[in-house]
Chain A
């Protein structure tokens, strides 16, 4: 009787340890997937600057300056070039 009980406890312990091991492994894989840079999480994208950024740079290349109605006698002139 005592031997049978000991075998049952040993089997339960083995199952429990295996389950805990599998659980830790799965958790470790999940965390690695989410944090290690070598693991792909989503569709790979080219390294080019986003279009939004490119548009912003382009707008800046021909962006407007800031003007105001003349507030003083002219100190400079924009002649024709």
Chain B
């Protein structure tokens, strides 16, 4: 199976099973989405939407669709995964692409709790959000683009962006901390703190922000891997389970979602749903 890689959205994209035309279409798709939804490109629609917070704004149909999905998933996760954490991430110093984000001797600004997804009103393409509110749609956009890209493949294969992966046809996937699993259908995603992290005045921050406090979340897990009917579902579930902390395995089990948890000391735990499907014994 032919594999090609390229960089987009601040991570490496791996595409397997695409011919030349499909590969080009997938590259275009990632580039187009990045131009619209990047927090770091001054000309992106997201940047101008955030700059106009406090005033009614007409957004593009693509933007409205992605924001609507983000708001629906925020509701579904009880606000654990909230699209209004853009200001919190900026306050912590995540203001550039991670590759350009070196260690900074200046301390991070005061934490900026997220205004909350309930404060965002979207009616068709008309968006109203409170002044000072900044959206960050990266999580949903990246995994949704993976889902859209896998449809463009010529046959069986997969598309992976960072930790987010969607398959077309069964694919065996290696897992953080060792081990592997076959993804028969849908997607798999891992959220954790080992990659998207940076230092401000010696203090470590990472991108998984607790919306309530505006600080990088403290969790017993270093990485959480979940399976989803889509890559978006897997990614959102992984982040929510990470942010749910010790309750993460049960939070996923209540929804029938398989989850695998890598703790800081290297131990691995899986929830009952993972044990039932992937064959690893559950640790309770």
Contacts and interface: CB of A to CB of B under 8 A. Distances in A.
Given A61-B73, A80-B163, A81-B189, A69 B233 contact: no
Contacts of B162: 79-81
Interface string B67-83: 00100110011000000
A28 to B, nearest CB: 44
Given A61-B72, A65-B229, A67-B182, A74 B163 contact: no
B76 A71 contact: no
Interface string B150-165: 0000000010111111
Interface stretch (B85-93, B112-120, B127-135, B252-260): B252-260
A67 B258 contact: yes
B217 interface: no
A76 B176 contact: no
Interface string B226-239: 01111001111100
Nearest to A74: B174
A72 to B, nearest CB: 5
A62 B228 CA distance: 7
Given A67-B183, A72-B182, A78 B175 contact: yes
A1 interface: no
Interface in B171-216: 171-176, 179-196
Interface stretch (B19-27, B53-61, B274-282): B274-282
Interface in A30-81: 58-81
Q: What range describes how many residues of B lie at the interface?
A: 35 or more
Task: Say whether chain A's binding surface is mostly helix, strand, loop, or mixed.
Answer: loop
B67 to A, nearest CB: 15
Contacts of B194: 80
A76 B163 contact: no
A64 B167 CA distance: 14
B273 interface: yes
A66 to B, nearest CB: 4
Of listed A63, A65, A69, residue having the most chain B CB within 10 A: A65
B225 A67 contact: no
A28 B260 CA distance: 66
B181 A68 contact: yes
B16 interface: yes
Given A65-B234, A67-B277, A68-B277, A81 B186 contact: no
Contact of B165 (A59, A69, A76): A76
Interface of A: 58-81
Interface of B: 1, 11, 14, 16, 69, 72-73, 76-77, 142, 158, 160-165, 167, 170-176, 179-196, 223, 225, 227-230, 233-237, 255-258, 273-274, 277-279
